[in-house]
Amino acid sequence: MSLDEGHAHVVTFGRMHPILANFGRGLGDVVFPPICVQCRGMVSSDGEFRHVCAKCAAQFDYVRPPHCSTCGHPFYGIVEGERMCPHCEGLSAAFREGRTAVLLKGPGRGLVHELKYHRGLHVLADIEEIFRRVPHVLELARDATLVPVPLHPRKQRERGYNQSEMIAECLARAAGRKTIVSPLLRRVVDTVSQTHHDRRMRQSNLKNAFALVPGAVINAAQHYLLVDDVFTTGSTLNSCALALRRAGCLNLDVITFGHG
Ligand SMILES: [Zn+2]
Ligand SMILES: [Zn+2]
């Protein structure tokens, strides 16, 4: 193909059919069409989300207080005194508090799956938009140093990125001010084959799975926040918390995008 032909091809691409151009928020929508992660329908360009249609967006289950102070799962109805949370009882948390943005179902689950399993970096704008809608999460994150839960290097090479780091970047942008992302931890044990083990076995294998990256320094006066995509048993987050505590971190909370 000559240079001229190549140029002509680009021009043709730019002059797409007017109907197609109307979906448009530029080239990004051609590469990643605005398809709803939940119902696979087209998402209109004047909606609040790029990859969740208006009908599905109404199904987001945002977490509002009151919620469990360890894992962030909402308590429904009237809360009287301390309450055991079925999602995290038995977890002796090495962090102070945990908060979460949405329940991991419907479109909330769709966004996480798109990001983790379909190379869906294009849904990050929607994840940031969700964070902007949960004041109790933003308030905890503001001015903190966000530490993403690391993937094992092998896993990160496979996926091409660490979804928790991407989510932490979204949260930092939404929280603003002096909130920063600092990948201080690395995963030293590959725990990929452990999903078949029971909880106690996983916890004991995870105990030393994380360490500080070489040269990282913890400032005992700083507020640190571990960030992960989802809260499930809390054992991975807790192992990360232990690694940070061992390194001298005193002021440590946890935020996850989804819970379930
Ligand atoms: Zn939809
Ligand atoms: Zn809980």
Contact 158, 125 (CB under 8 A): no
Q: Could you tell me the two tokens for 164?
A: 């928790």
Per-residue pLDDT of 205-257, as tens digits, reads 777 899 999 999 999 999 999 999 999 999 999 999 999 999 999 999 999 99
Centroid of ligand 1 to alpha carbon of 162 (angstroms)? 26
Q: Could you tell me the two tokens for 112?
A: 């996480």
Centroid of ligand 1 to alpha carbon of 39 (angstroms)? 4
- Decide if pLDDT at 23 tops 70: no
Centroid of ligand 2 to alpha carbon of 259 (angstroms)? 10
Output the pTM of the full model: 0.84
Centroid of ligand 1 to alpha carbon of 138 (angstroms)? 26
Cβ count within 10 A of residue 222: 15
Centroid of ligand 1 to alpha carbon of 18 (angstroms)? 24
Per-residue pLDDT of 183-215, as tens digits, reads 999 998 876 555 566 666 666 677 789 999 999
Per-residue pLDDT of 98-115, as tens digits, reads 999 999 999 999 999 999
Q: What DSSP designation does 147 have?
A: E
pLDDT attached to residue 78: 62
